[in-house]
Amino acid sequence: MSECIFCKIANGEIPSKTLYEDELFRVILDLNPATRGHALILPKAHAASLYDLPDETAEAVLVLAKRMAQIMSDRLCCDGLNLIQNNGEAAGQTVSHFHLHMIPRYVNDGQTLGWVPGEATQEELEEIRREMTE
Ligand code: 5GP
Ligand code: ZN
């Protein structure tokens, strides 16, 4: 993926504020952080989204997120942490190279992440459960 910006960043062709690097991943600071310390975990091998991620990488990414979470807690003294991972334009994905957002949260940080809770009847939930499992 010669034109993929996250391929270039992950593989060191474009410099970034790197927090961690190993054979599979590079963890960088987001250029437009939602909060102080907002980081992105990038696999070095191109995968457009979660759908394309090899199982080995999918398994490893959460182990790495856990390690980075501890560092964020210890060093940034954040009060909480959001993990966000967007897949597809409809979900807000703007860079088509899998990335996991790690967003440290601070009491009264003024950030608004989340969704508007909806409503569903038991019948609707059951219909969805059937659609997804039967
Ligand atoms: P998405 O909306 O695709 O889930 O998130 C893309 C993220 O990548 C955004 O938070 C954006 O700020 C960040 N980003 C886009 N281009 C660059 C870049 O060149 N360098 C860094 N460090 N972050 C980037
Ligand atoms: Zn890529």
Q: What is the pLDDT of residues 7-34, one digit of tens each?
A: 999 999 999 999 999 999 999 999 999 9
Q: Of the residues 38, 46, 97, 99, which is catalytic?
A: 99
Tell me the whole-structure pTM to 2 decimals. 0.97
pLDDT at 96: 98
- pLDDT bucket at 2, cuts 50 / 70 / 90: confident
Q: Say if residues 113 and 34 touch (Cβ distance below 8 Å).
A: yes
Nearest CA to ligand 1 atom 18: 31
Q: Assign a CATH topology to domain 5-133.
A: HIT family, subunit A (3.30.428)
The DSSP code sequence of 63-130 is HHHHHHHHHIIIII--SEEEEE---SGGGT--SSS--EEEEEE-TT-------------HHHHHHHHH
Atom of ligand 1 nearest to the CA of 29: 22
Q: Which ligand number lies closest to the CA of residue 90?
A: 1
- 99 as an active site residue: the answer is yes
**What's the average model confidence in pLDDT over 114-119?**
95
